Structure 1
Amino acid sequence: MKTQNASANRGAFRRAALCSSALVLAATLPVEAAAQDADQTESSEPAAQQAAEIVVTARRRDESLSNVPIAITALGADDLVARAVTTDADLQRTVPGLTIRQTQGNNSLTYSLRGQSADIFSGSPSAVVTYLNEVPMPVSGASSFFDLESVQVLKGPQGTLFGRNATGGAVLFTSAQPTDRLEGFARAKYGNYDRTEVEGALNVPMADGRVLVRGAFNLTYADGYIDNLYTGETLGNINRENARLSVTLKPSETISNTTMVQYSNSQGTNTGASYTWSVYQCGETNNGFALSCGAGLLFGPSLDSQLGAGAWANYLATHPNAYAPGLLDYVNEQRRLGPYKTNHPGGADHFGEQWIVTNITEADLGSGLTLRNVFGLVDSYTDSNQPQLGAPYATILTANAAIGEAGNVDDLRSWTEEVQLLGETGALEWIVGFYMQRQRVNTLYPQTYFDLGLPAFGLPAYAANNFRTKNDVNAVYAQGTYDFTDALSLTAGIRYTWEKVHGVQLSRSDNFGPPEQSRLYQDPSWEVGLQYQATPELLVYAKTRGSFRSGGYNGTLDPAAPYLTPGANFFEPETTEDIEAGVKYSGYLFGRPATFNLAGYIQWIHDVQRVEFPDPDGPAGPLASIAITTNVPEERVQGIEAEVSFMPTDWLRLGGQLALTDAEFTDNQVTLFGVNYAYGPVGDTPEASGTGWAEVFVPTGGSGEITLRGEVYAQSSQYFSNAANSLAPRTELPGYALVNGRLSWNQIGGSNFSAAVFGENLLDEEYFVGGMQLAVALGHNGAVVGKPRMYGLELSYRF
């Protein structure tokens, strides 16, 4: 098996990491390991009455969430457990305006904020960059969240302070740091679909507190929930294993050094875009645009009109699992079967492996100066065979028998180095820094189009994209906050980034041969804002920002093709500016604890990086439709985001989140290879989304505390294509609402044991969370099914 061969040199490391973690953690029984948890354990107050201040690092310093002039959602360790946030996809219902885009299912994810995302098969940097311990990370399949200190979601253009420029936002994951206490936790869950999850952490101080060690692990296994009637396989199987070791060294009172090493292994089957959503027939138009119809034409009775009478009957005779009425009619058959049945004729195996190393060194230089160094190393490999339609015909497969490859492969290695100097000079608090990143990605896309088993007619048609991109990033930045008074402050920052992008075709590519190409992109990012602390409880702010996404290399294009001018296989940078204003309140309403955050914004994006699937040779040429990134001239996004919580009594807490987003392409015309394309509406951006929740606290004297939490997440409809008004109609997914709940008993009988029962999608809503639009390429589109009802039992122990 290819994935096993590709990872043979890493298998020993995986087994060693998991075994060593298990041995260390088996030494003692564990607990929830965040600092605020330890504080709560010591307090005699019920958890409901404790005001836990959330500390965030959005400006590269520890600050109270309520005092940071940024639209930000932060979740602490307790929040992550109470709200059952265990993977990337779960964040969508906890962060207003965040969409976790699923194009090819559960192992093909992209974050989308404020109408900004990155399309599937794009060489574009992500519009929303994720970080682990301040080191930028790739996002592909769903990762497991375990033993985290916090998750912070920063909204809007980023670039003046964080490693990679981003036009949409940044998501900061911070692992639980080693502490000077002997502590730990163990947690086990079991639920339907045979979902089994075990995790834990152990923290051990040594050498009189000069050496602090923390180990953590997470093991998650689950059966899938989509039945593939064609192969008998179940899609959505999960087999994830994660281990982490963190060590803090404190050689003196002024120096600390924390190193984290994390290993992740993910296997199973992809859910894929396994629901056949829409298919176009020949002659169909949409707003004056002629629609592609290749798949519907060839996979159905109309095949006779192309290859002669009896061609379709011969096909059915050799493909007994095919649906006789054809692909156009299968859309109705899919609706009859329902969302959790598919007929994908190809494979769906997923394999992913990742090593992450982060190191943060801090030195107190005295006189208010602090020197920080942040180093990161990421080694990530994925091999994923993706269902892209779900109908019982091989219209497209992520496999190529001609070169003996199956599965899309991304092999990424990246290292980053960042040096910061922080200080205070009178009323000015400032930071200056230098950032460097070197990233290399080898990509392989093996493809099969229209496998009719008719080699005499060139069907199936095979294609292979195999290319390498390298990004060399250097940046310098400075930002400061000047206090005019105790209440009024000005923040200003600037960053200048140089990013050189290299691209070359590799040996298994159909386009192999041309030499390596490169282009340099450079641009500033900036921020200016005023913040006014009207009262200790109320903050008012306004700011404007600018940032950019580097241009890049279209590896699926032949650099030597006659239809390309020199360098035309590169796409241009994307730039953006915004204005944001907001208020934050954290205090009391009618004498009871209350918080309220409101932000309004308008953002302009230029040369928006989006993927299209054109056919460079035209409809009369070979079957060579490809995915390329192009630049849509203009987009505008405006909206309002709000979060509120209120505790009317000691036993009840109420809250909610809401995002209203208006996104549109204000100049949407693009010409590719002589063909005009029109973009709109903006995909993966529901106009409205939000969550309402309630927590009921039931004191039990000295026997712990019982908490019941219920929440409803709802969103309006969204498109999974950016061209639904032109070449990709019928790509709108309906809105939906999900009901989730959790009943927990903490510190049962005054002990260190806790238990909970939980449920997601309790009403078993059938809904869709994304899609794979191949409208222009093949004339069909597939949708990604959301999870059905999930429930289970959780037991934990802490000390």
Structure 2
Amino acid sequence: MKSLTRVALVATTALAWTAPAFAQDAQAGRGEANGNDDIIVTARRSEERLQDVPISITVLSQDAITKRNIVSSVDLGTYVPSLSTNQSFGAEKASFAIRGFTQEGKTSPSVAVYFADVVAPRSNGGTTSGNGAGVGSFMDLQNVQVLKGPQGTLFGRNSTGGAILLVPSKPTDNLEGYVQGSIGDYNMHRVEAVLNAPLSSAIRVRGAIDWNQRDGYLHNKSGIGPDDFGNTNYFAARFSVVADITPDLENYTIGSYSRSNTHGVLQRVSGCNRNYASAFGLVGLLGPFACGQVDRQNARGDGFWDVDNNDPNPQELIRQWQVINTTTLKASDTLTIKNIVSYAEYRETADFDLFGDNLISTGQPLNFGNLGIGVGAAGICSFGSAGCTTPLVLPTVAGQSLPGITLHPGVSGNNSAQSTLTEELQFQGTLADGRFNWQAGAYLESSKPLGFNTGTTQIFESCTDYSTLQCTNPLLIGSLSASNVKDTFNSKAFYAQATYKLTEQLSLTGGFRYTWDKVMSESRNVNINIPTPGTAVYSCQNVVKFNGGDISIPLIVEGPISAKCDDVLHQNSSRPTWLIDVDYKPIDDILLYAKWARGYRQGAINSNNLGLEIATPEKIDTYEAGAKTSFRGAVPGYFNIAGFYNNLTDQQLAVNSVVAPQFQGKVPNAQPIVNAGKSRTWGIEVDASVRPFTGFKFDVGYTYLNTKLIEFTQPPLPIYYSALFPSADVGQSLALSPKNRVTLTGTYTLPLDESVGQVSFGATFTHTDANRGVSPNVAPNYLLPAANLLNLNVDWQSVFGRPIDLSFFMTNVTNQKLVVYPAGTFTTNGQITGQLNQPRMFGFRAKVHFGN
């Protein structure tokens, strides 16, 4: 494939010099709009001018996406100040947060992602993934629209934070397309191609592909497994067809497929708890070995992006396909009927070390007294009890590998496998000579598991082959945890929204939606104890439930998926959401608006969190006022500002649990989602652009966000947890909520003759304040550091009048070193670990385009 890329680049360049310059003027249509008047958005499910929509929106055109080298969700978050990403498990699985509303664990997304008016297919594996913009989503788009604030009327599903709309390029009447090849450091090779063709006067088709490979930026120093992590390796394809069945009836079908197969990412252990001698629990047991890993890394002279892997077969494999069909009937001049139906399947196979630890003994003994395990005349006993005053101490051999926690695929081979069917019927119309615009509709979603979502978690077991139980238990508390879950979702809704122009300047908008959500989770979670390699004793993981809390009588079963361990949970909810908006246009170039919006996010189920499996829905009220202004003349541009206040109740908040000593090895560590209480957020968002002189464009995006957890009500602590650590304490800010975030982009186009082409230089600087990560509120590593990122691009369009574009791009120019996800293991395993950002990267692109 690498040779194929080089051939594509050579062919691209050769074709450019020989092909005629079909339509250089069309480049302007693919670029960013001049000012804001030409930007068309679909934020209210119909096409409108951006400056006429009373919503805080950031829009990126396909040209802006390409220049900024936006490939993943993480890249998008870099350029939208109000948008943060949770990168805990890598770029392919990142989830979005807007205005402090974060998806944590197995909750539904707080930011709904839509592609071609269809919500992203569900995924509900053991780690946050899916439900968003997967690999290949950012190719061949008309634009990306980031809508801030709850969109609970027209976009409905769990959009308490906002919604992201990916609008694909629709087939046109023109024969046109392009081939684009990229190369860069870290052995990056990428090929993109688009072909649009009219098959007849009534049928138009469009196809696009995106193949991207790049070596990982995390260098593995252990000699176990691959040489690198954080690599890129995906293929995505899309095919769409538009058929004009009659002059008033259109059928639009999109089929897409993507496959990403990488090594995944790996956290780096950067520090340890040196006070392990006096610490209780796993810190006392594992502290010496965690510090040994840190000392070993320092002795080797490891750099910031060097990691130490202990999983021989790490993998992150994600496959997704989807078909969307939209039928639009213009029933009359005042009524349009649209039906949108889709079906998608999502599959994920994951294998990775949870905390990036590679614990190797230097000969120090294992002291189990810190875990409450002692030895007496009768053998192993509870340390400190009568007749048990000697801690159990076992010797180790220098160089002996001690296990951590590793996640593997389960017996089905899929950590997540889910299908999603959606159906939406829309009616849109106008009355009273266009003064009254309305729309109404019905929505149905049915998401079903494609068999069991299964995973095997290797917990302090030393395994040469976990699938055949070739494991030993050097820490005495180890086991394998087999998670087998089927999650079923059903959502129904009816909605209506209308805008009435009271006068030519004053309009009133009202919207209402009622949603019914049902979630069912069937789990068969099994604990596997291995007395000797190759043998196993299977017992129900939720033995506490089945035996009334008595873990001395394990419920023995026959295998890793046993119906005897069947536990079925339900979470049903129904809620109204609404919108009331008043907007006023004193002149065409000024829009003033004020609104009140209600949003809600459905409840969640996570069967692994024993005793804390169910979280009920959360509710948000948002009050927002804003202004959108455009100015013309010698210095054209726009300035948009919005202020908001959010009141969130019954908030779904992640808390980390510490398993009580007597349940170690029998109950898994977990991160329950609880309805923590109340929080409030308020802030200001600014989006502006100006052209102070010919050739120069300056864009500014700024968000000030002030969040606070007002009330936290801890649920009753189940007997098998000794503590719960929330990601924020009362009075503190919420996760992924930087107080100040600003993005500055400057683009200068040289004053060259048209025969030379258009040469521009662009730079984007983003500052993000330090903020709280999605991890326990425990020092010293729960904060994300402040970030200052600089990205550059140079573009030469229509080189010497030929249909070729050349580009250079560089990200993280200053090579800033950042922890983008801190893990909360300091008080449990005695480690300071975290997920790292991408270092400086650069590349070159060559693009040949043809047609109109």
The normalised TM-score by structure 1 is: 0.85
2:363 equivalent in structure 1: none
Matched, 1:424 2:430: yes
1:517-562 superposed Cα distances (whole Å, 9 cap, x missing partner): 323210011110111112111111111111111112122145xxxx
1:437-462 superposed Cα distances (whole Å, 9 cap, x missing partner): 01124433321223468627534332
Matched, 1:99 2:99: no
For residues 538 and 456 of structure 1, do their structure 2 counterparts lie closer, same or farther at Cα, with a shift above 3 Å needed?
closer
1:189-229 superposed Cα distances (whole Å, 9 cap, x missing partner): 10000111100110011222x11100000000001111111
* Superposed displacement of residue 107, structure 1: 3.3
1:448 equivalent in structure 2: 458
Q: Which runs of 4+ in 1 moved over 6 A?
A: 28-31, 42-52, 403-406
Matched, 1:130 2:113: yes
Contact residue 104 and residue 273 of structure 1 kept, 8 A = no
For residues 257 and 667 of structure 1, do their structure 2 counterparts lie closer, same or farther at Cα, with a shift above 3 Å needed?
same
- Aligned counterpart for 1:785 among listed residues 836, 839, 843: 836
Contact residue 271 and residue 387 of structure 1 kept, 8 A = no
- Aligned counterpart for 2:168 among listed residues 155, 170, 175: 175
For residues 331 and 534 of structure 1, do their structure 2 counterparts lie closer, same or farther at Cα, with a shift above 3 Å needed?
farther
Distance in 2 (alpha carbons) for counterparts of 1:45 and 1:350: 34
Matched, 1:692 2:658: no
Matched, 1:501 2:513: no
Bigger-Rg structure (1/2) = 2
* Superposed displacement of residue 275, structure 1: 4.3
Contact residue 553 and residue 569 of structure 1 kept, 8 A = yes
2:691 equivalent in structure 1: 647
Distance in 1 (alpha carbons) for counterparts of 2:699 and 2:490: 44
Secondary structure of 1:220's match? strand
1:317 equivalent in structure 2: none
Matched, 1:464 2:482: yes
Matched, 1:363 2:357: no
1:601-623 superposed Cα distances (whole Å, 9 cap, x missing partner): 1101112112223246x233223
Distance in 2 (alpha carbons) for counterparts of 1:614 and 1:256: 54
Q: How does 1:471-620 map to 2 (within 5 A)?
A: 471-506=489-524, 510-511=541-542, 513-557=565-609, 564=611, 569-588=613-632, 591-615=634-658, 618-620=660-662
Give 2:514's aligned amino acid: Y
- Aligned counterpart for 1:384 among listed residues 347, 350, 367: 350
Deviates more, 1:705-714 or 1:766-775: 766-775
Distance in 2 (alpha carbons) for counterparts of 1:354 and 1:45: 28
Give 1:132's aligned amino acid: F
Give 2:473's aligned amino acid: P
1:440-491 superposed Cα distances (whole Å, 9 cap, x missing partner): 2443332122346862753433222221111110000000111101111111
Secondary structure of 2:241's match? strand
Matched, 1:756 2:807: yes
Matched, 1:343 2:308: yes
Deviates more, 1:345-354 or 1:257-266: 345-354
Matched, 1:254 2:245: no
Contact residue 35 and residue 638 of structure 2 kept, 8 A = no
Contact residue 37 and residue 51 of structure 2 kept, 8 A = no
Distance in 1 (alpha carbons) for counterparts of 2:257 and 2:526: 29
> Gaps spanning 5+ residues in structure 1: where?
1-14, 32-36, 285-291, 302-321, 559-563
Q: CA RMSD in A?
A: 3.1
1:546-586 superposed Cα distances (whole Å, 9 cap, x missing partner): 1111112122145xxxxx4xxx6321111111101111112
Distance in 2 (alpha carbons) for counterparts of 1:51 and 1:613: 45
2:466 equivalent in structure 1: none
2:371 equivalent in structure 1: none
Secondary structure of 2:319's match? strand
Deviates more, 1:40-49 or 1:160-169: 40-49
Matched, 1:204 2:197: yes
- Aligned counterpart for 2:235 among listed residues 228, 241, 250: 241
Contact residue 613 and residue 774 of structure 1 kept, 8 A = no
Secondary structure of 1:123's match? coil
Distance in 2 (alpha carbons) for counterparts of 1:87 and 1:795: 21
1:267 equivalent in structure 2: 261
Distance in 2 (alpha carbons) for counterparts of 1:335 and 1:715: 33
Contact residue 225 and residue 236 of structure 1 kept, 8 A = yes
Distance in 1 (alpha carbons) for counterparts of 2:31 and 2:77: 29
Give 1:429's aligned amino acid: N
Distance in 1 (alpha carbons) for counterparts of 2:33 and 2:501: 35
For residues 45 and 237 of structure 1, do their structure 2 counterparts lie closer, same or farther at Cα, with a shift above 3 Å needed?
closer
Distance in 2 (alpha carbons) for counterparts of 1:161 and 1:222: 39
* Superposed displacement of residue 236, structure 1: 1.4
* Superposed displacement of residue 165, structure 1: 2.7
Contact residue 620 and residue 646 of structure 2 kept, 8 A = yes
Contact residue 286 and residue 830 of structure 2 kept, 8 A = no
2:398 equivalent in structure 1: none
Give 1:247's aligned amino acid: V
Distance in 2 (alpha carbons) for counterparts of 1:496 and 1:543: 19
1:744 equivalent in structure 2: 795
Matched, 1:229 2:247: no
* Superposed displacement of residue 106, structure 1: 2.8
For residues 277 and 671 of structure 1, do their structure 2 counterparts lie closer, same or farther at Cα, with a shift above 3 Å needed?
farther
2:47 equivalent in structure 1: 62
For residues 717 and 47 of structure 1, do their structure 2 counterparts lie closer, same or farther at Cα, with a shift above 3 Å needed?
closer
* Superposed displacement of residue 50, structure 1: 8.0
- Aligned counterpart for 2:74 among listed residues 65, 76, 89: 89
Give 2:636's aligned amino acid: P
Matched, 1:670 2:680: no
Contact residue 281 and residue 661 of structure 2 kept, 8 A = no
Distance in 2 (alpha carbons) for counterparts of 1:704 and 1:392: 54
- Percentage of matched positions with identical amino acids: 26
Distance in 2 (alpha carbons) for counterparts of 1:742 and 1:518: 51
* Count of matched residue positions in the alignment of Structure 1 and Structure 2: 726
For residues 532 and 51 of structure 1, do their structure 2 counterparts lie closer, same or farther at Cα, with a shift above 3 Å needed?
closer
Matched, 1:191 2:178: no
For residues 465 and 610 of structure 1, do their structure 2 counterparts lie closer, same or farther at Cα, with a shift above 3 Å needed?
farther
Distance in 2 (alpha carbons) for counterparts of 1:335 and 1:769: 24
For residues 598 and 171 of structure 1, do their structure 2 counterparts lie closer, same or farther at Cα, with a shift above 3 Å needed?
same
1:414 equivalent in structure 2: 420
Distance in 2 (alpha carbons) for counterparts of 1:390 and 1:259: 44
- Aligned counterpart for 1:152 among listed residues 145, 158, 167: 145
Distance in 2 (alpha carbons) for counterparts of 1:520 and 1:48: 45
* Superposed displacement of residue 399, structure 1: 3.5
1:633 equivalent in structure 2: 677
* Superposed displacement of residue 278, structure 1: 5.7
For residues 74 and 293 of structure 1, do their structure 2 counterparts lie closer, same or farther at Cα, with a shift above 3 Å needed?
farther
Secondary structure of 2:662's match? coil
* Superposed displacement of residue 651, structure 1: 1.4
- Aligned counterpart for 1:76 among listed residues 49, 61, 66: 61
Distance in 1 (alpha carbons) for counterparts of 2:621 and 2:805: 48
* Superposed displacement of residue 300, structure 1: 4.4
Contact residue 279 and residue 780 of structure 1 kept, 8 A = yes
* Superposed displacement of residue 753, structure 1: 0.8
Distance in 2 (alpha carbons) for counterparts of 1:626 and 1:30: 57
* Superposed displacement of residue 737, structure 1: 0.9
1:106-158 superposed Cα distances (whole Å, 9 cap, x missing partner): 33311011101111xx2211001111111111453852321111111111112
Give 1:217's aligned amino acid: I
Distance in 1 (alpha carbons) for counterparts of 2:29 and 2:779: 60
